[in-house]
């Protein structure tokens, strides 16, 4: 079921948006329409009119993109439940797949702060939901995008889309490693006493970006820059506790870009670490610490136009 959920969790993203989403909307569509009225009234030449039309077209296109993205998890779940092409799946399987698929856009509190039911149910999908969320967030490498297509279309992309395309090009891949250390015998009663083992989970992400120019701290609330690890080869991001923020005066372009691009990944790691830490000590043999390593694999090698996309996005 997890495999099917991975395959179908974004199925609604291929839909063509309904014009009623714009016509019946009382929010951003009203702002777009008002701005068009102003531009139309101010137009004095054909060139002014054309420019107003193009700018409005981009605004409407972005409206539909955000409309689809913002609720695609719920829409995908509905399509999994109702699509005729999936009738070969048993109804109970379909419902489980839809439930797992819909969870990939839920807030972390709705996943990690919901009391577990594995002990009271024959089947629990909590861990399937967590696995799907991480699989989705870690789908980040350069192989997701085409450099020639980006080069030919970057001028026609929204800032957010262009930012993610360029960011994928800069991400070479990642490794996930768990290491275990046993506490000294003098501090534990037995090898399997609660908390006798420390698990360190290290997510290493390899990037082709070497820009370390200083920037003002954004006061990130999920992870903080470990200043003593900062070098030309990268740095480590340590996860923050609740209500903590990063106040490092070593904030730099690479760190800002990474945290902007991977905000939800860092937030997910933070929530997972906190979730594991809430398990009663008597029920676990080890403590878990999660760290993220950002490793510079190659120097920056993107066009000025692509770099400008990154600058505009993280400075906004």
Q: State the pLDDT at residue 14.
A: 81
Q: Given pLDDT bands bounded at 50, 70 and 90, which one contains residue 188?
A: low
Mean pLDDT of 296-313: 93
Q: What is the mean pLDDT of the chain?
A: 90
pLDDT tens-digit map of 42-93: 999 999 999 999 999 989 988 998 888 888 999 999 999 999 999 998 999 9
- Tokens found for residue 69: 């993205």
Whether 280 and 190 have beta carbons less than 8 Å apart is answered as no
Burial 92-101 (b: 16+ CB within 10 A, else e): eebebbbbbb
Q: State the pLDDT at residue 191.
A: 62
Torsion of CA 128, 290, 168, 62, to 10 degrees: 70
- Tokens found for residue 44: 């004095």
Domain boundaries, the chain: 2-136, 142-315
pLDDT tens-digit map of 244-297: 999 999 999 999 999 999 999 999 999 999 999 988 877 777 889 999 999 999
Q: Given pLDDT bands bounded at 50, 70 and 90, which one contains residue 18?
A: confident
Mean pLDDT of 181-203: 76
Maximal C-alpha separation, the chain: 85
pLDDT tens-digit map of 99-149: 999 999 999 999 998 876 666 776 778 899 999 999 999 998 888 889 999
- Tokens found for residue 162: 């262009």
Q: Given pLDDT bands bounded at 50, 70 and 90, which one contains residue 190?
A: low
Whether 217 and 247 have beta carbons less than 8 Å apart is answered as yes
Look at the chain and count its residues. Answer: 316
Pairing of the two strands 286-296 and 223-231: unpaired
The answer to whether residue 36 scores a pLDDT higher than 80 is yes
Q: State the pLDDT at residue 207.
A: 96
CA distance 251 to 217: 5
Those residues whose C-beta lies under 8 Å from the C-beta of residue 260, and which sit 6 or more positions away, are: 163, 313, 314
Tell me the whole-structure pTM to 2 decimals.
Answer: 0.86
DSSP designation for 129: H
Whether 8 and 2 have beta carbons less than 8 Å apart is answered as no
The answer to whether residue 3 scores a pLDDT higher than 70 is yes
CA distance 64 to 202: 38
Q: State the pLDDT at residue 113.
A: 87
């Amino acid at each position: 079921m997890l495999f099917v959920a991975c395959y179908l969790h974004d199925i609604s993203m291929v839909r063509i948006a309904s014009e009623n989403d714009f016509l019946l909307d009382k929010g951003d569509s009203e702002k777009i329409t008002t701005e068009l009225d102003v531009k139309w009234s101010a137009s004095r030449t054909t060139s002014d009119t054309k420019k107003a039309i193009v700018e409005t077209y981009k605004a409407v296109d972005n409206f539909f993109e955000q409309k689809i993205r913002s609720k695609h998890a719920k829409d995908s779940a509905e399509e999994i439940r109702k699509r005729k092409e999936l009738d070969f799946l048993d109804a109970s399987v379909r419902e489980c797949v839809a439930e797992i698929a819909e969870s990939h856009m839920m807030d972390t509190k709705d996943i990690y702060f919901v009391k577990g039911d594995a002990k009271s149910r024959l089947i629990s999908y909590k861990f399937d939901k967590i696995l799907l969320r991480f699989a989705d967030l870690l789908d980040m490498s350069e192989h997701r995008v085409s450099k020639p297509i980006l080069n030919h279309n970057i001028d026609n992309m929204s800032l957010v889309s262009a930012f993610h395309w360029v960011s994928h090009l800069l991400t070479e891949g990642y490794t996930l490693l768990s290491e275990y250390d046993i506490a000294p015998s003098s501090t534990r009663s037995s090898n399997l006493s609660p908390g006798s083992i420390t698990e360190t989970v290290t997510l290493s992400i390899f990037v082709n970006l070497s820009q370390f120019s200083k920037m003002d701290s954004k006061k990130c609330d999920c992870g903080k820059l470990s200043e003593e690890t900062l070098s030309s080869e990268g740095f480590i991001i340590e996860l923050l506790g609740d209500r903590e923020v990063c106040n490092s005066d070593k904030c730099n372009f690479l760190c800002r870009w990474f945290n902007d691009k991977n905000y939800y990944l860092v937030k997910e790691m933070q929530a997972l670490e906190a979730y594991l830490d809430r398990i009663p000590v008597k029920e676990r043999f080890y403590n878990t610490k999660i760290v993220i390593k950002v490793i510079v694999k190659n120097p920056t090698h993107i066009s000025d136009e692509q770099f400008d996309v990154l600058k505009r996005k993280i400075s906004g």
